[in-house]
Structures are given as C-alpha cells and as structure tokens.
Amino acid sequence: MTRSLAILGATGSVGTQALDVVARHPGEFELDALSAWRSLHELAALAQTHRPRCVVVPDAASASSIAGLLPARTEVLVGEPGLVEAASAADVVLNAIVGFAGVPATLAALRAGRHLALANKESLIVAADLVEHVRATPGAQLLPVDSEHCAVHQCLAGLSGPDPMRSVRRIILTASGGPFRGKLTEELADVTVADALAHPTWQMGPKITVDCSTLMNKGLEVLEAAALFGVGVGLVDVVVHPQSIVHSMVELVDGSTLAQLNRPDMRLPIAYALGYPARFDDGFGRLTLDEPLELTFEPPDLAAFPCLGLAYEAARLGGTAPAWLNAADECAVEAFLSGTLPWRGIAQVIDATLQRYDDTPCDDIEALLKADMTARGVASGIIESMALSSARP
Ligand code: MG
C-alpha cells in the first residue's frame, strides 16, 4: 500500500539521501510535502522532480520568491504552522530539520499518530519530556534515523519477553572519534574550520561535522538515547570505534553484547526508519567480509574532548539544562564556523553557559523556547567577551 510521505528538511544531507531511498522503491511512498528553510531554489528543483502536494518555506517573502518555479498544482505552506500542518497530514514523516526549529514538527507528527522517522536530535535532547507525552498517542511510532540509535533499536528489537529492557545492562554508543582522535589538548589549540570539517568516515552537514570533531555530537546522542529508550544517561556509555562499522551495541545482563554492523551509509538508517517494520532490499553498506576487516575500540579522551562530559553534566542538571547545552553549542559552533571562536573555545563557551543555568523546569514548549533564547543570549555574551579579550594586545 502506498503511504504518503513528508520530508522536512528536504535539501539537507539526510533529506536528499531519503529522496534517493524513496526513488528506489516506486509505489512505496507518495511525496506529500517537502520543506526547506534556506536552499529555496534547490527546493523548487526537487519539487519539479518529485511533484509533492505541497512545499513548506519559512515566510511569505520566500513563498513569493519561489512561486513561479513550482509545479502548477503544488501548494505553498509557510512558517512553523506550515511545518506543523505538513507533519500532521502525511502517513510517514521524516523530520530532518536542523536544530531546535525541528521540535514543533516532531510534536505535531506524534500528536497526529503518525509514523515519524526522526533525524532531528534536538527533539529528543531538549524536548524529551514533551515527546514522551505525545509518543503515547495511538498509532504514533518514533523511529530513530541517527545511525547509532537505529543500531540500538535493531539490537533491542531482537530481545523478547514482556519487559526486554530488564535484560539490558547498558547501551554503548560508538563514536568515530572524528578528525582529531588521538590528539592532546595542546595539539588542538589552532585547528582550522577545514580541519574540523574533514570527517574521516561520514559525509554530513557542517554543524554536525563540527559537533563530531568536539565529541559534542556523541554527547547529544547520549541524551538522545536516554530519551528514546527510556533509560538514565548512567546506562549510556560511549566507546571510540574509528572504523564506523559497528554503529552501536547493547550489553545484556548475562554478559552478551549485541551489535549492528554495516559500512557507513546513512541510507540504511533512513530506509530502516521509513520502512519499519519492513526492510528494503537495497543492501546499503553491506559487509561482504571477503577481505580482512579490523575493528578496534578505545575509551574516549574526556580531557581533550570536554564536550562529552558537559553533555552528561547537562543531563545531571535536568530541567531545561539540555536546552541550554544545545543552544550554547549551536551558538559556539556558528561562531567557530564564522572564524570568531577558536575550536577549543566551543567547549569553554558551553561550560561557561551551563554554569549560568537558571534551574527552569521543562514544562511546555514555551518554557523551552524561553530557555533556548536565554541560553543563546548568555552564550553570545560569552562569545563576544572572549573575542574582545583575544583581540586585545
Ligand atoms: Mg549519529
């Protein structure tokens, strides 16, 4: 049976790979909606190829700028209400929006009882409590697109019994270690943007690639895993695995460790999340094992990569602290990418921002929006004063 599909964040790395998956399985999905916030011309080109029922753009000005480039019958929706409408309407929703802006679409899709393939980590990191609430909606399904969480989901799916989580001793997320694996703190003083963007195993957008270089991506994924699988962060460990072939593991109480393996290819978790419980026969990144394959594991270096520890710290603080962590990271990474903050400054900004966390509980989306804004204000102030003091002779 053909299911209608909304791809939110269609022009990004996950969005375009999802369109590739969809194109391989004609008849499985009918494109209902595509959204983009910045790459409007790319969005229009995708709409010409895939002919969705509607597209979603940020505002009225964007809508009029692409109106003439769209197929005649494609409707244009605008802003957050447009995203919420698109996320509520389709049978299957892929939320690949970058950052905090993706939260309302997640809540809308689950509230409407949709099958949600979630690539927007922030929904689970900053809005865990709110997502938990709407996940109980009849029909709602939440499938992780993040490769590590997709791996854990697959490991857990193999456990039987009334409460399979009782057999779990811990979840072990693997990290590639990024481009600076093995470097010491002092060797990381003047890394450039190009260095940070040279990820050894995965091709991704710039924000997440920088987050991989600081291990903040893994820190955010610890919070994501805790929310997704309903465990405390104390049950989520991280191990560095530079080959990125074991995508994560689950250790059971009897001493068994389950793992999911394939060569890095985001189309596998995307296809898993879109098709679940069915599997497609694409063989993305399959292991032929016809030549030697070495897999290594090592503990993360928390001194050279303090961002990982800061994520656990935010989880310990609770309330809206994860929103503060996320906002501070977004500001710091943006400042790093624009050349106003050194790489090691990213962790310093996040640390200093968390130290000013105000203990606000996470009651509703308004509280989150306020926490996000407050934390951004604090982080921007810290970035500015750091830039000033480093400019002084
Ligand atoms: Mg990941």
The amino acid at residue 159 is L
- Output the CA 53–ligand 1 centroid distance in Å: 31
- Output the CA 128–ligand 1 centroid distance in Å: 17
Q: What is the pLDDT of residue 391?
A: 73
Predicted TM-score (pTM) of the model is: 0.93
**In this model, does residue 5 exceed pLDDT 70?**
yes
Q: What is the pLDDT of residue 393?
A: 60
- Output the CA 173–ligand 1 centroid distance in Å: 9
Share the mean pLDDT of the chain.
95
Q: What is the pLDDT of residue 279?
A: 97
Which of 146-160, 193-207, 315-329, 374-388 has the weakest average pLDDT? Answer: 193-207
236-240 and 168-175 beta bridge pairing: parallel
In order of their start, the domains of the chain are 3-144 (3.40.50.720)
Tell me phi and psi for residue 92, to 5 degrees.
-125, 130
Contacts of 372 (CB under 8 A, 6+ apart): 100, 126, 323, 326, 327
Of residues 182 and 392, more confidence is placed in 182
- Output the CA 148–ligand 1 centroid distance in Å: 5
Per-residue pLDDT of 228-267, as tens digits, reads 999 999 999 999 999 999 999 999 999 999 999 999 999 9
Per-residue pLDDT of 155-206, as tens digits, reads 999 898 788 899 999 999 999 999 999 999 999 998 999 999 987 777 778 8
Mean pLDDT in residue range 307-311: 98
**In this model, does residue 392 exceed pLDDT 70?**
no
Q: How does residue 389 score in pLDDT terms, banded at 50, 70 and 90?
A: confident
Question: Contact, 236 vs 170, CB < 8 A?
Answer: yes
- Output the CA 75–ligand 1 centroid distance in Å: 33
Q: What is the pLDDT of residue 269?
A: 98
Residues near ligand 1 ion, CB 5 Å cutoff:
146-148
Q: What is the pLDDT of residue 163?
A: 85
- Output the CA 221–ligand 1 centroid distance in Å: 7
Q: Which two tokens stand for residue 147?
A: 């490769």
Tell me phi and psi for residue 297, to 5 degrees.
-140, 140
- Output the CA 327–ligand 1 centroid distance in Å: 19
**In this model, does residue 352 exceed pLDDT 70?**
yes
- Output the CA 39–ligand 1 centroid distance in Å: 24
- Output the CA 216–ligand 1 centroid distance in Å: 11
SS in 3 state form for the chain?
Answer: CCEEEEEECCCCHHHHHHHHHHHCCECCEEEEEEECCCCHHHHHHHHHHHCCCEEEECCHHHHHHHHHHCCCCCEEEEHHHHHHHHHHHCCEEEECCCCHHHHHHHHHHHHCCCEEEECCCHHHHHCHHHHHHHHCCCCCEEEECCHHHHHHHHHHHCCCCCCHHHHEEEEEEEECCCCCCCCCHHHHCCCCHHHHHCCCCCCCCHHHHHHHHHCHHHHHHHHHHHHHHCCCHHHEEEEECCCCCEEEEEEECCCCEEEEECCCCCHHHHHHHHHCCCCCCCCCCCCCCCCCCCCCCECCCCCCCHHHHHHHHHHHHCCCHHHHHHHHHHHHHHHHHCCCCCHHHHHHHHHHHHCCCCCCCCCCHHHHHHHHHHHHHHHHHHHHHHHHHHHCC
Q: How does residue 390 score in pLDDT terms, banded at 50, 70 and 90?
A: confident
Per-residue pLDDT of 83-134, as tens digits, reads 999 999 999 999 999 888 899 999 999 999 999 999 999 899 999 989 999 9
Q: Which two tokens stand for residue 291?
A: 């030549």
Q: What is the pLDDT of residue 47?
A: 97
Per-residue pLDDT of 334-346, as tens digits, reads 999 999 999 999 9
Per-residue pLDDT of 37-65, as tens digits, reads 999 999 999 999 999 999 999 999 999 99
The amino acid at residue 131 is V
The amino acid at residue 367 is A
266 C-beta neighbours (distance < 10 Å), count: 23
